[in-house]
Amino acid sequence: MLTAARVAPVSYVGPDFDPPQSRRSRRRPLTVAAAALVPGALLGWLVYEAVGGTGDGGGSDQAGLGTSSYSSPADDSADSPSASSPSAPSSSAADDKQPGTSSTPRTSAPAGSTPLRGKVVVIDPGHNPTNFQHTAEINRKVNIGTNSKECDTTGTSTNAGYPEAQFTLDVSRRLRALLEKQGATVKFTQDGNRPWGPCVDERAEIGNKANADAAISIHADGAAVGNRGFHVILPGSVHAGAADTRKIVAPSADLGERVAGNFLRATGSAPSNYIGDGTGLVTRTDLGGLNLSTVPKVFIECGNMRDSKDAALLTSGAWRQRAAQGISEGIVSFLRGS
């Protein structure tokens, strides 16, 4: 069983999760389409602040963003596995069903309502639930263009033992179902069907070989208590060794901004109060999954698993469905150019 102790490494430790570099001033705040930052989302922040805010002492200059005003439904409590059984199935509540798993029949969208027909999306569920059983394999160094890093990591977990790798698979499967209904062809880097990995270089290669129109890596962070909110990681310009992101920097930024804006609107969660200067956007050049990509690609850290308030959202099946919806709408907006 995957225990909390075994998933202790946090998201910013390992191949694609080193401590962020000092962030240069970004060209603009969260410039997702103005429609994405709808008044309703802003009102949600204000309502949240009125009833207590984030409760952390820092980030007072983060535009007072706070975090989600969404409360998990009572029937989601069974979807928060204990440390002794972090791989327990989701609750039987309707919102906790995982669309798109091998046991769930695929449903074709009605004719004429498939705007993404012909588009390919690659989804990369971060980490792997059984990486902890394969330390030698995941600690092997791989070339990411700028330097070498470990193949993969175990990921983080909530304090109660709900693993990041389980979270990423659940959100990814929900996202796949939504995109397939729009007519997209969706490919996974892993679907819980391999014992470990894949390594970060292979994750990038899967998107490249698929000639994906868009690729996204799903994660949750493992930062300090009081650090809350989501952020989307964009590739910086890298031209070294096997890495050359120059052609994908601009389209990836467009993809990331649309994902961030729609994620905010769908979930009510605010952009991170600890990274990204309140924009919800971070540019990095040290991630193999981005450096080696030749197709537009971003990462999303959906929240901080180590903070109890964010963890209450991340372990809610209803909230994960909202998260998948927001990510889906960002991808659809990007692929349709609208």
How many angstroms separate the Cα of 57 from the Cα of each of 10, 66, 192, 228?
22, 11, 39, 12
Residue with tokens 């600690």: 139
Q: In angstroms, what CA-CA distances link 37 with 43, 53, 144, 235? A: 10, 19, 35, 23
Of 229, 272, 234, the C-alpha closest to 253 is 234
Extract the runs of DSSP E, i.e. beta strands, from 167-222: 185-188, 214-221
205 is catalytic: no
Q: How many CA atoms within 13 Å lie on the side-chain side of 156?
A: 25
| 13: its two tokens | 């430790």
Question: Is residue 69 a contact partner of residue 61, using CB atoms and an 8 Å limit?
Answer: no
The catalytically annotated residue of 164, 180, 257, 301 is 301
Q: From 221, 222, 188, select the one nearest 202 (Cα to Cα).
A: 188
Active site residues: 301
